[in-house]
């Protein structure tokens, strides 16, 4: 099984790369700009993976508030571009998201059926990015609260 690991030099990507070993094809920001649809498609097609794991994100909360355009380019357009590329390449997309898509007010654990209600630009951008992931055809979104 070949796995294209996007964001391989980030905290989660680094750990996944250690676990996946030679099955992983690591891509860092230097290798792929997921905000660019043409470059993203080219990278996915060149790798011809069975699965793409997207760990890339613009997640610095203060910076996201200062530069929402960048947050949305990475966190919304990136998953959209990866989903489109995966669909065309016949690859499964595993997208890593966050519990920041919720406001934290629910008194019980959140489920996948709960409607997002983000409180900041980062959460809003991640929630919007999740919307595009099903376009991959075969997909999984994982929301994590911390690494």
Among residues 18, 12, 101, 24, the alpha carbon closest in space to that of 55 is found at: 12
| Catalytic entry in 58, 100, 110, 122 | 122
- Asked if residue 120 lies in contact with residue 100, where contact means CB atoms within 8 angstroms, the answer is yes
The answer to whether 58 is a known catalytic residue is no
Q: Give how far the C-alpha of residue 102 lies from the chain's centroid of Cα atoms, to the nearest Å.
A: 17
- Cα–Cα distance measured from residue 19 to residue 32, given in angstroms and rounded to the nearest whole number: 22
* Tokens 């998953």, residue located: 79
Question: Euclidean distance between the first and final Cα of the chain, in Å?
Answer: 25
Q: Strand runs (DSSP E) across 7-147, as ranges? A: 24-27, 51-54, 92-98, 139-144
Cα 127 from Cα 118, distance rounded (Å): 8
Residues recognised as catalytic:
122
């Amino acid at each position: 099984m070949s796995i294209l690991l996007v964001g391989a030099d980030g905290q989660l990507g680094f750990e996944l790369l250690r676990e996946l070993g030679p099955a992983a094809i690591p891509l860092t920001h230097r290798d792929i700009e997921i905000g660019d649809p043409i470059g993203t498609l080219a990278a996915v097609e060149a790798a011809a993976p069975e699965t793409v794991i997207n760990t890339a994100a613009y997640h610095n909360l203060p910076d996201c508030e200062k530069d929402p355009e960048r947050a949305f380019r990475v966190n919304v357009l990136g998953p959209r571009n990866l989903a489109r590329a995966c669909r065309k390449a016949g690859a499964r997309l595993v997208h890593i998201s966050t519990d920041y898509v919720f406001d934290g007010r629910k008194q019980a654990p959140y489920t996948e059926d709960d409607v997002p209600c983000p409180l900041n630009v980062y959460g809003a951008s991640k929630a919007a990015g999740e919307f595009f992931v099903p376009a991959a055809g075969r997909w999984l979104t994982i929301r994590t609260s911390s690494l």
